[in-house]
Structure 1
Amino acid sequence: MSDLTEQPHEKYRGRTRLRGGELDTSTTDQRLLDSRGPTDWVHTDPWRVLRIQSEFIEGFGSLAELGPAISVFGSARTTLDDPSYALGEEIGRKLVEAGFAVITGGGPGVMEAANKGARAARGHSVGLGIELPFESGLNEYVDLGLNFRYFFARKTMFIKYAQGFVVLPGGFGTFDELFEALTLVQTRKVTSFPIVLMGTSYWAGLVDWIRGTVLAEGKVSPADLDMFTVTDDVDEAVALMVEARTRRPRGSDRAKAEPGDATVPPE
């Protein structure tokens, strides 16, 4: 029998082999059971993988039976007296009246407005929050709420459980979500997925730049500009969502692949 006090030349941490300078003198069980041991291990990448996995499992489990839903995005900085707030509230209410659940980022501003409208219409009001140093919790109108550590897990839920996006005036976070959706539609990672930009005056500069610079230089194709609609009419926005729902294949609430799938059949 070998001397248990002898320093090994190599060891295994699960499937990982360690040699030389990578060797350590403790085991995972030891670190788990010995409260006086080092705690840095809970901040390592392998441990983060489990946290990421738990966020996906919790999100999938909580939202799987949500039914048809639309994600509504916009600025958290929108004040109560801003016209965008009233617009968000109207959108939330009318989406519910059309048979959709409403998903937002769960924060204040436009997100709060859409959740407020959804609750007023007695619909499903969902908030997918994110851990940030300058925001605290979900708004009071969220009935089903999840808080995420990781943006990419949260963004997957926005795409997987929504049948379309309504995008109100917002900042970098709103742009990020908008262009993520546009990329997924362009690459056919998702299908039958309407994107509506609410507020013609707000989005005009961006649309002009896409048309006058991006399209003009051949960075996108003319058909790519058909991926989104710009309007000030809430009823038009809701009608586009309803129309897309009717085009979905029979027996499928979500006629789209998971974000990240290798191939997606065309419509």
Structure 2
Amino acid sequence: MTDEGIAQVGKGYRKGPVILRGHQIPKETTDQRLLDRQDDTDWVHGDPWRVMRIQSEFVEGFGALAEVGRAVSVFGSARTQPDHPDYALGEQVGRGLVENGYAVITGGGPGVMAAANKGAKEAGGLSIGLGIELPFEQGMNEWVDLGVNFRYFFARKTMFMKYSSGFVVLPGGFGTFDELFEALTLVQTHKVTEFPIVLVGAAYWGGLLDWIKTAVVDRGMINPIDLELLKVVDDPDEAVRIVCTHNEALRAAADAEA
């Protein structure tokens, strides 16, 4: 699906709490303006005030998600159509997580994200969407019960990491890769408490994993034991089981130390 195709499913361009349509849609996102390297010095007067906006995003995000409880983030492509097998996998993952006592967090968009939110909502659980301002309309999917819209990717990423007890990653593109490797890096470097990361779809992820196991490991870029941070399955129920078993073991270990 093209970016324009994705835009059609949206209900307006979201810029924080503001919705814009038609000619009101800006040509640049807030992130673009923040990261733009300007030749003049006007940024000196503007950027300090941006800090207040950034702070407000963290405050609003923390306030909205503080009482969510146990939750798992599900990532995957926004381009996946409802008739694609990956969509059904997303629904099953969302449903399975709720049935095991977890809320489901996604990026709030269409495709796999909508599928996981749908599975969670139809199972009677809490369905959460963390949206982001993009250069094309996307909007929060209809299956989200609790939605928070962000201007800045780094604020949104913090929410995924802080309030998730694990990641289930279905086939996706650059955005999905970004979220996957962000999680891997933070777990590998012990910046976050270790949590499970499960990839669904061995055929899709196989080439990437083969490259990591050979080129990356062989050059000493990572330790072979780092590969254990990733689990790969084809069965969505198995993905849910791995997340639950891992977290139960962590809780048991914490109780034993208390």
Query: Taking structure 1 as the reference length, what is the TM-score of the superposition?
Result: 0.77
Percent identity, please. 69
Partner of 2:238: 236
CA positional deviation for 1:151: 0.2
Within 2, Cα distance between the matches of 1:115 and 1:54? 26
Query: How far off is 1:212 after superposition?
Result: 1.1
Counterpart in the other structure of 2:249: 247
Secondary structure of 1:44's partner? helix
Note the C-alpha offset of 1:133.
1.6
CA contact (8 A) 1:215 1:222 kept: yes
2:110·2:138 contact (CA, 8 Å) conserved in 1? Answer: no
Contact 1:192/1:247 (<8 A) preserved: no
Q: 1:73, 1:104 within 8 Å by CA — same for their partners in 2? A: yes
Contact map agreement 2:76 2:113 (CA 8 A) in 1: yes
Amino acid at match of 2:191: K
Correspondent of 2:119 among 98, 117, 120: 117
Alpha-carbon distance in 1 for matches of 2:164, 2:144? 16
Q: Which runs of 5+ in 2 are unaligned?
A: 1-41
Whether contact under 8 Å (2:92, 2:237) holds in the other structure is: no
RMSD of aligned Cα (Å) = 1.9
Partner of 2:51: 49
SS in structure 1 at match of 2:157: helix
Equivalent pair of 1:69/1:162 in contact (CA under 8 Å): yes
1:65-119 per-residue CA deviation (whole Å, 9 max, x = no partner) reads 0000000000000011111000000100010001000000000000000000000
Point out which structure has higher relative CO (alpha carbons under 8 A, 6+ apart).
2
Name the structure 2 match of 1:18: none
2:169/2:198 contact within 8 Å kept: yes
Provide the rounded CA distance (Å) in 1 between the counterparts of 2:214 and 2:252.
39
Match of 2:9 in 1: none
Q: Which residue of 1 aligns with 2:15?
A: none
Give the secondary structure class of the aligned counterpart of 1:132.
coil
Q: Which one-letter code corresponds to 2:150 in the other structure?
A: F
Q: Secondary structure at the match of 1:248?
A: helix
CA contact (8 A) 2:94 2:117 kept: yes
Instruction: State which of 102, 107, 121 in structure 2 corresponds to 1:100.
Output: 102
Normalised to the residue count of structure 2, the TM-score between the two structures is 0.79
| Superposed displacement of residue 251, structure 1 | 11
Residue 225 in structure 1 maps to residue 227 in structure 2? yes
Alignment coverage as a number of residue pairs = 214
Cα distance in 2 for residues equivalent to 1:226 and 1:248: 16
Instruction: For residue 172 of structure 1, report the CA deviation from its aligned partner.
Output: 0.3
CA contact (8 A) 1:192 1:244 kept: no
Q: State the Cα distance separating 1:189 from its structure 2 match.
A: 1.0
What is the match of residue 183 of structure 1?
Answer: 185
Return the offset for 1:249. Answer: 4.3
Q: Secondary structure at the match of 1:112?
A: helix
Q: Flag the structure with larger Rg.
A: 1
1:167 aligned residue (150, 169, 173): 169
> Is residue 144 of structure 1 aligned with residue 146 of structure 2?
yes
**Structure 2 residue 121 is the aligned partner of structure 1 residue 154:** no
- Pick aligned residue for 1:73 from 57, 72, 75: 75
- Matched residue type, 1:167: V
* Larger proportion of helix: 2
Equivalent-residue separation in structure 1 for 2:242 and 2:49 (angstroms):
43
Output the amino acid matched with 1:76. A
Residue identity opposite 1:77 in structure 2: R
2:63 counterpart SS class: helix
> 1:190 offset after TM fit, Å?
1.6
SS in 1 for 2:250: coil
Q: Distance in 1 between matches of 2:253 and 2:64?
A: 21
